[in-house]
Structures are given as structure tokens and as C-alpha cells.
Amino acid sequence: GAVVSQHPSRVICKSGTSVKIECRSLDFQATTMFWYRQFPKQSLMLMATSNEGSKATYEQGVEKDKFLINHASLTLSTLTVTSAHPEDSSFYICSASGKKYEQYFGPGTRLTVT
Amino acid sequence: QQQVKQSPQSLIVQKGGISIINCAYENTAFDYFPWYQQFPGKGPALLIAIRPDVSEKKEGRFTISFNKSAKQFSLHIMDSQPGDSATYFCAASWAGSARQLTFGSGTQLTVLP
């Protein structure tokens, strides 16, 4: 149990375009979902926390107009990187938590902006 | 005060040996301490977790030791195998932060065959 999927697993886009990443909890209802960014050989950096049906809470320094998060249901959250630039290239990972303490991570999405 | 400090940064162990990774925290409100295993290009996988009401938790070859007074916890991997070679992250959370995880900096474990 506790499976979280992400789609796509990797995406290459041109500078200036927008990219949407989906995060789904497959076998549990996720009251809270989190989005992280990870650079090579570094720890995970929390970008935002979202609860179903409410606006996401962004961490300091994360542009909410650039990284749009929607948590439309208890099993789906999306991250849209708007007007992507090469510096947005990174590994984006979502996680989901249910009623208990555990947080389960998706497999990640490798974004490359050319 | 939200930091979780993890050491060592990298660790090389012979097959069959014991791998030990340590973490220390400052925020006494933390009440959940998970360890994650991450392979290159993959998302972190929950390995084992502990709450502060117990001092040790064992699952298979993986053991968490928890010292509340010292504000430290550690992961022990017994009989380490080459397949255990990965990056390990400790983390901590508390209810007041919407259960956001505060991660350690990670330990790159290499188990030599």
C-alpha cells in the first residue's frame, strides 16, 4: 500500500513554455501533499504544502506565480511550472500523507528546460 | 532550530558489515523521525520510522536507535549488502508544522562486495 505516482517521469521543454506534473496517491486519500525540488547530490528542498480544496502554502523564496499548485481532490495534486527557464531544470518530487504521520514519495519527475 | 544534522556525508562499508548513520535535532517539538532510502533518479522510499516514546525499533536488518535526552537518533544497517548502496536521509516532523518533513543532508552509502 501507500503508493504515489508521478507523471511524466521526465520531460524536456523549450524555454518559455509551461509544464504540468501530476502527482497521484493510488491507494489512499492524501489530506496533504507536498512538492519538493532536489538538485544533484543534495537533500530535498520543500517548495510548497497543499491541502485538498485550499490554496497551497509556499516556502520562502518559492515564486507562487511560477510554480502553480492545484490540489483538486484527495488523490491528485498538480504542479505547473510556468514560463520555464533553464534554471528551473531539476528533479521534482511530490509526496503525500494521509491520516497518520507517514509521508510517501512519488518516483520524481526530471525536468529539463532547453 | 528546525535543522536536522546528519553525519557522515559518505560511508563505505564492506559487505556483511554494519552501517551506522547519525542524526541530531534541536526542535524538541519533533515527534516523528523517519528514515528514507533513495536510489539515483528515484524518489525517496520510507524505510523505517520511530516516535519518541520508544528507544529502539527494528525492522529486518534496519534498526533505529533513539536518544530523546541527547536529541539524537541513528540508523543501523546490519549485514550490509551491495544492494543497500544508496543515499539515506533522516527526517523529522511535528504536528505544528502540518507534518512537513525537515530533512538531514543525506549520507551516500557504498557497500563494497
pLDDT at residue A24, as a whole number: 96
Reported as a pLDDT band with limits 50, 70 and 90, residue B49 is: very high
Q: What is the mean pLDDT of residues A68-82?
A: 93
pLDDT at residue B1, as a whole number: 57
Across A13-17, A32-36, A71-75, B23-27, least confident range: A71-75
Q: What is the mean pLDDT of residues B80-95?
A: 96
Question: What's B2-68 look like in SS3?
Answer: CCEEEECCEEEEECCCCEEEEEEECCCCCCEEEEEEECCCCCCEEEEEECCCCCEEEECCEEEEEEC
Are B49 and A106 an interchain contact pair (Cβ–Cβ within 8 Å)?
A: no
- Closest CB to B43: pick one of A41, A101, A106: A106
Give the whole-angstrom CA distance, residue A107 versus residue A84: 21
Contact pairs from chain A to chain B, CB under 8 Å: 59
For residue A11, give Cα distances in angstroms to A28, A109, B73: 27, 7, 38
For residue A61, give Cα distances in angstroms to A57, A88, A90, B40, B94: 12, 14, 16, 27, 22
Is the pLDDT score of A37 beyond 90?
yes
Q: How many angstroms separate the CA of residue B105 from the nearest CA in chain A?
A: 5
Amino acid in position B42? K
pLDDT at residue A8, as a whole number: 97
pLDDT digit string, tens, across residues B53-83: 999 999 999 999 999 999 999 999 999 999 9
pLDDT at residue A60, as a whole number: 94
Query: Does residue A22 contact residue A35 with C-beta atoms inside 8 Å?
Result: no
Question: What's chain A look like in SS3?
Answer: CCCEEEECCEEEECCCCCEEEEEEECCCCCCEEEEEEECCCCCEEEEEEEECCCCCEECCCCCCCCEEEEEEECCEEEEEECCCCHHHCEEEEEEEECCCCCEEECCCEEEEEC
Are A103 and B46 an interchain contact pair (Cβ–Cβ within 8 Å)?
A: yes
pLDDT digit string, tens, across residues B2-33: 699 999 999 999 999 999 999 999 999 999 99
pLDDT at residue B97, as a whole number: 79
Reported as a pLDDT band with limits 50, 70 and 90, residue A2 is: confident
Query: Does residue B10 contact residue B87 with C-beta atoms inside 8 Å?
Result: no
pLDDT at residue B54, as a whole number: 93
pLDDT at residue B2, as a whole number: 67
Chain B residues in contact with A95 by the CB 8 A cut-off are 43, 101
Chain B interface, mutation test: which of A25, A46, A102, A103, most B Cβ atoms within 10 Å? A103
Q: What is the mean pLDDT of residues A21-49?
A: 94
Q: How many CB atoms lie within 10 A of CB B44?
A: 31
Give the whole-angstrom CA distance, residue A95 versus residue B93: 14
